Amino acid sequence: MRATVLKIAGLAIAFRIFSALLALFVNVLFPNYQPEQFTVFGTPSAFWDAFARYDSGWYWQIARYGYIGGAGGYVEGGRSAIGFFPAYPILMRYVGRAFGRRAVDLYLGGLVISWLAFAVAMVLVFYLARLDVSRRRASWAVLLATTFPFAFIYGTVYSEALFLAATVGCVYLFRTKRWVLGGLCGALATATRVNGIMMWPALAWIVWQQVGGSKAASRAEQLRAAAGLLLVPLGIGAYSLYIFAITGRPFEWAATIERWGYHPGGSPVSVLWVLGHALVTRPYAFLAGERMAPYDSLNGLAAVFAILAVPFVWRSLGAAYGVFMAANLWLPLSSGQVEGMGRYVAVLFPLFIWLAKVCPRRMLIGVAVLFAMLYTLCLALFTNLHPLF
């Protein structure tokens, strides 16, 4: 077991180093699509700046100033950093202090968290997949999760790697009946990203399957499972209490997210319908004539791929995984935006376990090659500040 963990973790870090070098070459060879909004060291760096784009600046603001001070501090009725959940920037702050008190040290702390969390997540994906597939197939699941086109985000100062590690860890611990530890991992996930709470129905289904409908389960086991479930919302609950303390409204973070143009609760198919209609009826004019069209198309294709896979995941791996994917697709799509869907799909680990389980070996090789090609494209676009985020 130890050798397996070290091997997977080592390969994961090696892949992150390879991706970092690839991003360096992209930065050196190609001009940026738009001016840099901020830099890691205060002056442009072809290597270090590739790790910190777009939302990285918000996480840095929180890590340095919290939710009240700084340029991203809370402003009543306006956009602010409180739309970003606290677990990742808090870890950035304290890990960054190991490097020093400079502004750049917070970025370095975030990078360490992302890379280590990615390595942990890949180890956990392997062991979770082993509950359903062979060792070889579990290795394929790790490879597909690593090379998914939007998996480049795991090597940047973004919260996705930490979220994936916490989510996969939670599900693995629930499936192996370590309820309290699983609940704590779930609380970390719900304190990292708002969509963390969307895994709760899937966890409840796992609990029901494991102990709820089983006469063999003891009362103590059922209570531990219930305790694990109750622990999961503590992350988002604690953050809501904190937001209440500084704004007087516990869900002000949700109102802030809406001010960014995201309005959850609408039709989850309307935005994809509009995008699909444009791609079918006027593909060249759309892709060549509208600024966001290529990036929306990449995000939309990732979303459609995941949506089409949901019933197959449900049938092959069980209702819990199907519910997990459906809930985590519904929330962002119902907001009326296709932006960011690639990142949201990247953390849907059942998708990769399902592909590894059902695809013949030759098809798996083809999928991995296709993923790797698109991974390179998406990494290059993000590195050169194209609006793929």
Q: pLDDT digits over 334-386, tens only?
A: 998 899 999 999 999 999 999 999 999 999 999 999 999 999 999 999 999 99
H helices present in 100-218, as ranges = 103-129, 135-147, 160-175, 179-190, 200-207
Tell me the residue range of the domain where 324 lies: 261-358
Q: Do residues 185 and 117 make contact, with C-beta atoms less than 8 angstroms apart? A: no
Among residues 156, 235, 245, the alpha carbon closest in space to that of 199 is found at: 235
- Same domain? For 268 and 248 the reply is no
> Number of structural domains, the chain?
2
- Same domain? For 306 and 279 the reply is yes
- Same domain? For 309 and 276 the reply is yes
pLDDT at 214: 61
What tens digit of pLDDT does each residue of 21-80 get? 999 999 999 999 999 988 999 899 999 999 999 999 999 999 999 998 777 788 887 788
pLDDT at 266: 86
What tens digit of pLDDT does each residue of 135-192 get? 999 999 999 999 999 999 999 999 999 999 999 999 999 999 999 999 999 999 999 9
Looking at the domain assignment, is residue 184 inside a domain?
yes
Instruction: Give the CA diameter of the chain.
Output: 65
The total of other beta-carbon atoms located within 10 Å of residue 235's CB is 25
Looking at the domain assignment, is residue 88 inside a domain?
no
Backbone angles phi, psi at 292, to 5 degrees: -90, -5
- Same domain? For 343 and 308 the reply is yes
- Same domain? For 272 and 343 the reply is yes
pTM score above 0.85: yes
H helices present in 268-360, as ranges = 270-281, 283-289, 293-317, 319-333, 341-346, 349-358
- Same domain? For 214 and 305 the reply is no
pLDDT at 313: 98
- Same domain? For 344 and 312 the reply is yes
- Same domain? For 244 and 284 the reply is no
Looking at the domain assignment, is residue 55 inside a domain?
no
d(CA 133, CA 139): 10
CA dist list (Å): 251 to 82, 89, 323: 10, 19, 25
Q: Do residues 122 and 148 make contact, with C-beta atoms less than 8 angstroms apart? A: no
pLDDT at 73: 82
d(CA 16, CA 151): 10
Q: Do residues 88 and 59 make contact, with C-beta atoms less than 8 angstroms apart? A: yes
The pLDDT-based confidence of 2 (bands split at 50, 70, 90) is: confident
d(CA 133, CA 155): 27
Residue that is last in its domain, among 225, 245, 260: 260
- Same domain? For 229 and 241 the reply is yes
- Same domain? For 169 and 218 the reply is yes
Q: Do residues 148 and 346 make contact, with C-beta atoms less than 8 angstroms apart? A: yes
Query: Which tokens is 232 given?
Result: 């999961």
The pLDDT-based confidence of 213 (bands split at 50, 70, 90) is: low
d(CA 121, CA 117): 6
pLDDT at 336: 87
Identity at 181, one-letter amino acid code: L
Looking at the domain assignment, is residue 47 inside a domain?
no
Signed CA dihedral, 378, 384, 388, 389: sign only: positive
Identity at 296, one-letter amino acid code: D
Looking at the domain assignment, is residue 139 inside a domain?
no
Looking at the domain assignment, is residue 380 inside a domain?
no
Looking at the domain assignment, is residue 39 inside a domain?
no
The total of other beta-carbon atoms located within 10 Å of residue 351's CB is 24
- Same domain? For 220 and 300 the reply is no
Looking at the domain assignment, is residue 169 inside a domain?
yes
d(CA 146, CA 144): 5
- Same domain? For 240 and 272 the reply is no
